[in-house]
Structure 1
Amino acid sequence: MALIALAADKGSPGVTTAAVALAAVWPRRVLLAETDPAGGDLVYRSAAAHGGQLDPNLGLLSIAATARRGLAPDQLWDHAQSLAGGLDVLVGLGGAEQAAGLSGTWPLLGRAFAQLQDSPHAPADVIADCGRVSGDSPVLDLLPHAALVLLLARTTPESLARVRDRASHLARRLHGERRGAVQLGTPLIGVVLVAEHGGAAKLVHQVDEMLHATQSGARVVGTLAEDESGAEQLAGRRRGRLDKSLLVRSARKVAADLQQRYGTLWATAPTPGQAPGAPGPAASVGPRAAAQPQPLPGNQPLPGAPGASAPGAPR
């Protein structure tokens, strides 16, 4: 199991939507963490499992108050909440002003996220919504603990140029200047394209060639469908068969491809801080472990559905 960090360079490619969609169809137990220093969105767009609102003070904010004394991986569950549909989440900050309270905590968070796979009680992968990353973003201190960093990009020329440059910058920061051998470094860097359904196959090849030329080690690992209707269903603002939406079907394929491509590596590689050659995490055990996909949040009424209060604006 592993920490998967989702991020973007600029614009709004839908990092939060992508993170929720991937977590909802992830084939193993997963904790979705909102780690965007600019603030989270789930308290505005999603309902809690009990039908009410998510508690904005329980999540990253409450972790910041306790992590000064250290942060054990299992403590993450003390700050988690469940969305309608059953997905476990760590609610993000209320805004950028609160990010100062996490100064120095980002590496601790990254380490705890990565080591949650080794919990004897509730092992899980963590999918982290990191928002937009830049050269001075504090969330960059979390990324060295990830097994995979996924950069989202739309298919406009400027978006593709930016994700190419961001992948190169991240490779140098995370792997050093090992030109030509960066692909062997961890975390691995992948690109997920947000594109119209059925129109990205040729583009994937072109973007892969562009990434290869940078020697960053990054590569395209999948595409998510540009599906406004599916995104509305995922956020609970529209009814429908969410599991049949283009968004969720494409997310399921990305999740399956990631597991097929990297699953064995994640199961055997040492976690950060583990001695080289030490055995990797065993298969999930414990009362909260689950080998089944997470239930889709949109399978149950969420804010925005008929008769419910309107949620905040999407990101």
Structure 2
Amino acid sequence: MKKTAKSLLALLALMLFSLSVSASAFAFNDIQKDPGKSYIEQLQKKGLVRGDGSGMFKPKSAITAQSAVTLIVNGFGLNIDNIRFIKEPKASDYFTKVKDNAPYAKAFIIAQLNGLDIPRDIDPNGKVTREQYAHWVYQAISKKGEYAWIEMYMTFKDEDKVTKGYMDSVQKLLIGKIASLDEKNRFRPKDAITRSEAAVILAKGITFVKNTKPVPQPEQPASPLTNVRMSSEAYGTEALKVTISAEAPHAGYGIEIANVAYKDKQAIITYRVVKPDPDRMYPQVITTVAAAVYISTAYTPVLGGEVQP
């Protein structure tokens, strides 16, 4: 019995030692004096950031585009689950330097289809500027809901250096205390953002979304159409006939193409409901309705949503 007790104590001690070694092995050894330490650790606990395998996070190193895009997509839980594709999208449909088999390719596809303004010729291994990263983070936050930002303008020393298309995003992150200025009242928009800076902005952005209620949006009336689907077939050698069909409660309803938006190599097709004539009576029989549009074979058709009249 004594030997058994000693064996159990020895095993317990070994387990505790193993746990302590395991915990320390996952801790970053180079962030103790970094101002973003607590935010980096927050992301680490969520499984969003990793080191280089040797216990180093390299907080002062510039973050690469592939890491930045992956971080934002995963951090805000962006996805393309609500988009229906006829053909599986590939990174090469949208980017010239992102290989289809790269481990980060899906993150780039998701970012693109969620409206992040990523240049078509972006280098996945290249650096990302602070204003560029702020722009992507703001766009990702906007996908989570419509928020009531305080109406004010934040002045800073180098605001004239911010790219015009990025200023609103920079302003929103400063107003929301998601991004901050340095001790000299500068944003340093053209500087490459470091891994630590990127982690801090992302962590604060995630907290903002978690703690801030979006502005309530008016409820959209339920659509009478169900089982909306899209199909395509060749029309000659250079065109596709794309058909959107659905089930309607009766023959009085119809469907029509509302718009075709061309972006990069996509043709995003939206539709609207044609309502029945209120002065007529229709047998309540489920009916298939359809509408078609023709597009170039150079584009991949994507089913967009219903557009309200």
State the TM bucket, normalised to the shorter chain. under 0.3
**Which structure: greater helix fraction?**
1
TM-score by length of 2: 0.22
**Which structure: greater strand fraction?**
2
TM-score by length of 1: 0.22
